[in-house]
Structure formats: C-alpha cells, structure tokens
Amino acid sequence: MASHRGHELFNVVMFAPSIFFVPVDYLPFFGAGYFLGTFFLSPDIDLSYSKPSQRLKFLKIIWFPFWIFSKHRGITHKPFLGTFIKLFYLTFVGIFLFFAILGVLSLLGVKTDIYKINPFELLEEIMRKRETLYFIGGLLLADLFHITLDWITSRVKIK
C-alpha cells in the first residue's frame, strides 16, 4: 500500500492532466473538490488515525460513528460508491446538527431568523447547480486516483 504521502503526491501530480477536461469557469469548484478529496476526505477517512482524519483536528469527532460501522478498505474504497457514501454521511450530519441547534435555540427561547431556513430546500438548490457537479467530480476523481494507486501498489507487492 502507498503511504499517505504517496497518495497525496500521486493526486497532486495527476491534477494537471485532469483539469484538461474541465471548463475554465468551473475549475475552482473542481479543484476545491479534488483537493478536499485528496487531503481531507480521502478513502482513508475510515481510519481514525489516518492523515486526513488528523488534519480535521477536533472536527474529526463527526466521523466517530462512521468509524464504528466501517472497516478500512471497505465501503470508502469502492469507486463512486465510497465518495457518495461520504457525501451522504456529511449531509446527514449537517442536517442533524442543524436540527439539534434549532432544538437548543428553541429550548433557550432564542428568537432568530434561522427558523426560516429549510435545509432540504437549500440542499435541493445546491444540488441543481452545475458548480456542484464539478465539485463532486473533483471528489470522485481524487478518490479514484487513491483507489487506483492502492490497487497498483498491492499488485506490485504481490508479484
């Protein structure tokens, strides 16, 4: 298996040829997804001690339930599926936290405009944007390069 440095270097090198197919207007969104996927949301996020997990500092606590139900090189290392599972998980956590904050504010009697926000409408609006497509494309490609390097290095060591 490649080390985290190996994965990150491979992904950084592969970024240049990857942007050839991305329209210039959407390059920032693709790049953000790609580098977020490389350095923070890599398939190795399923390990609590991985470099991507360590980079999250105190925010890595949101991945604790994920670590309980996943094993290393499990679902997060499945092409496409792993990326969408991570996105679904983060969306679920975000919506859960939104409603938890609403509940606390309600209990405290705080009056705020946050009550007017519908997270599901907001999510639908985000998903309709072309920028989101390129962002997710960047995440997907970063994961695919990670998984490909894992596959290559495991095959080379066997022979």
Which pLDDT band, with edges at 50, 70 and 90, does 7 fall under? confident
pLDDT surpasses 70 at 4: no
Q: Residue 138 has what pLDDT? A: 98
Q: Residue 38 has what pLDDT? A: 95
Q: Residue 157 has what pLDDT? A: 63
Give residue 124's domain range: 4-158
pLDDT surpasses 70 at 3: no
- pTM (2 d.p.): 0.88
Report how far residue 113's alpha carbon sits from residue 38's, in angstroms, rounded to the nearest whole number: 36
* 3-state SS assignment for residue 79: coil
> What is the number of domains present in the chain?
1
Q: Residue 67 has what pLDDT? A: 86
Q: Which has the closest alpha carbon to 137: 46, 14, 40, 27? A: 27
pLDDT surpasses 90 at 98: yes
Question: pLDDT digits over 22-56, tens only?
Answer: 999 999 999 999 999 999 999 988 888 888 889 99
The backbone torsions φ and ψ at residue 119, rounded to the nearest 5 degrees and listed phi first, read -65, -25
Q: Residue 120 has what pLDDT? A: 95
Between residues 139 and 60, the one the model is more confident about: 139
Q: Residue 2 has what pLDDT? A: 63
How far does CA 150 lie from the centroid of its chain? Answer: 18
